[in-house]
């Protein structure tokens, strides 16, 4: 590349001046990835390993690698946004927008590497596509990833998020975002001063309270559909539910399943969370975090940060059903979903059981009313029942059934876009 560059000291990145001499942006140096099923790909670094790209320039190498990942997962666009004054590093992913403009949360996290951040952006935006499709909403899948070490760099300020807001505004409504891991309504308020394409809570409860309540309800309805599929009745009466993580969502879920007649076993890294649950429900049993996955139970419900199930611990599971609020419950989604299916453990895909926020998004955009949310969340029961019917009929993991059902809807709707409607 002939553009002027600077030695930034930021790992594999180099800084490049825009052609008009204004803002800076960063270009990743040339490392490409090779699939694990390739003859050369025996490593312990997950699904990919870094290899030097043959006969290509440094920049071409990383571009090739990203395009390969996008093609493999069906992504439309991946944008890299950088504002050097505030060290804003944002990755914005668009997966599939056949059903409508993309929605996706803004996640701020101290990623170990840029590759990890890119992988998260691609993976989570893809999940949003299928979550939107399976719940019958008219959204596409998107995600905003912010790379920042808050401990080292300090808390991101107003200008940081306003800069992000201007980048989002540049997409002209193709992406609507909201608070996710590491961000909250304060940050969204800053973004909202630069773009209207942001969802902020406007009702009497706090965003986190209502979101947690709706998410917990969705998980409960997903559980009941799974129990109905296995036992013929949807009641949780007499069941043992092991909940990993009893923060805002997990604690509400504990209350919901106890009210439905279940017994709960809980674990959490924070003593205060455990104390609140046990004070309210003295019969709840507490186990150490390292023991929760191997607890004998009917339903295992991961409600902390995923992934939690890996190849090395999958054989220690002693549950009949896995249904939780955590994203990325499985470290290797396809392989472990197949293994759970073979072991006879019913895995409710996480992006279905935690789809409650999709209905909150509809409410915030005034597609449905506040009163309609609870009724909408109950649809998770029917959605999960349909998924399990396909799973049993075709003897495939429920996760694969989700992809089939959602992909069919996306493709059917996409074909209608060829009809001229008179709109420009």
Segment 1-20, tens digit of pLDDT: 343 333 333 334 333 344 44
In 3D space, the residue among 344, 321, 340 whose CA is nearest the CA of residue 330 turns out to be 340
Same fold, 5-192 and 207-409: yes
CATH match of 5-192 with 3.40.50.10860: yes
For residues 92 and 47, give the distance between their C-alpha atoms in angstroms, rounded to a whole number: 22
Asked if pLDDT for residue 36 goes beyond 60, the answer is no
- Residues assigned a catalytic role: 143
Q: pLDDT by residue (tens digit) across 91-140?
A: 999 999 999 999 999 999 999 999 999 999 999 999 999 999 999 999 99
Average pLDDT of the chain, as a whole number: 85
For residues 127 and 302, give the distance between their C-alpha atoms in angstroms, rounded to a whole number: 17
For residues 300 and 41, give the distance between their C-alpha atoms in angstroms, rounded to a whole number: 34
Domain boundaries, the chain: 5-192, 207-409
Contact 249, 304 (CB under 8 A): no
pTM higher than the cut 0.85: no
Q: pLDDT by residue (tens digit) across 338-393?
A: 999 999 999 999 999 999 888 888 877 877 777 788 788 999 999 999 999 999 99
List alpha helices for 30-96, DSSP H: 58-73
Q: Which CATH superfamily is domain 207-409 in?
A: NAD(P)-binding Rossmann-like Domain (3.40.50.720)
For residues 11 and 7, give the distance between their C-alpha atoms in angstroms, rounded to a whole number: 10
Longest dimension (CA), the chain: 69
For residues 214 and 212, give the distance between their C-alpha atoms in angstroms, rounded to a whole number: 6
């Amino acid at each position: 590349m002939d553009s002027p560059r600077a030695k930034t000291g930021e790992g594999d990145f180099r800084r490049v001046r825009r052609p008009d001499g204004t803002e800076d942006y960063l270009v990743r140096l040339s490392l490409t990835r090779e699939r694990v099923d390739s003859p050369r790909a025996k490593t312990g670094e997950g699904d990919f390993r870094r290899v030097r790209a043959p006969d290509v320039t440094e920049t071409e190498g990383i571009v090739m690698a990203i395009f390969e990942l996008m093609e493999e997962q069906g992504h439309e666009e991946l944008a890299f946004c950088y504002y050097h004054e505030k060290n804003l590093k944002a990755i914005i992913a668009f997966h599939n927008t056949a059903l409508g403009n993309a929605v996706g949360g803004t996640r701020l996290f101290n990623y170990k590497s840029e590759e990890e951040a890119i992988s998260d952006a691609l993976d989570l935006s893809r999940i949003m596509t299928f979550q939107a499709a399976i719940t019958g909403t008219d959204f596409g899948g998107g995600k905003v990833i912010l790379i920042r070490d808050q401990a080292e760099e300090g808390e991101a300020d107003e200008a940081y998020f306003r800069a992000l807001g201007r980048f989002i505004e540049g997409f002209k409504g193709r992406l609507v975002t909201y608070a996710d891991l590491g961000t909250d309504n304060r940050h969204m308020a800053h973004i909202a001063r630069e773009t209207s394409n942001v969802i902020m809570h406007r009702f009497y409860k706090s965003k986190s309270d209502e979101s947690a309540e709706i998410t917990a309800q969705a998980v409960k309805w997903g559980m009941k559909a799974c129990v109905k599929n296995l036992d013929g009745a949807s009641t949780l009466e007499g069941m043992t539910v092991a909940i990993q993580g009893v923060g805002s969502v997990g604690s509400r879920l504990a209350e919901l399943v106890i009210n439905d007649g279940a017994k709960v076993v809980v674990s959490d890294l924070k003593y205060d969370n455990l104390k609140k649950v046990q004070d309210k429900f003295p019969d709840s049993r507490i186990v150490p975090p390292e023991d929760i996955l191997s607890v004998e139970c009917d339903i295992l419900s991961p409600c902390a940060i995923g992934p939690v199930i890996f190849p090395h611990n999958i054989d220690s599971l002693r549950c009949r059903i896995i249904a939780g609020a955590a994203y990325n419950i499985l470290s290797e989604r396809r392989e472990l979903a197949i293994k759970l299916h073979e072991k006879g453990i019913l895995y409710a895909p996480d992006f279905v059981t935690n789809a409650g926020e999709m209905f909150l998004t509809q409410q915030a955009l005034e597609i449905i009313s506040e009163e309609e949310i609870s009724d909408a969340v109950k649809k998770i029961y029917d959605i999960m029942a349909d998924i399990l019917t396909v799973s049993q009929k075709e003897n495939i993991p429920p996760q694969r059934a989700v992809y089939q059902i959602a992909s069919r809807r996306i493709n059917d709707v996409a074909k209608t876009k060829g009809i001229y409607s008179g709109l420009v």
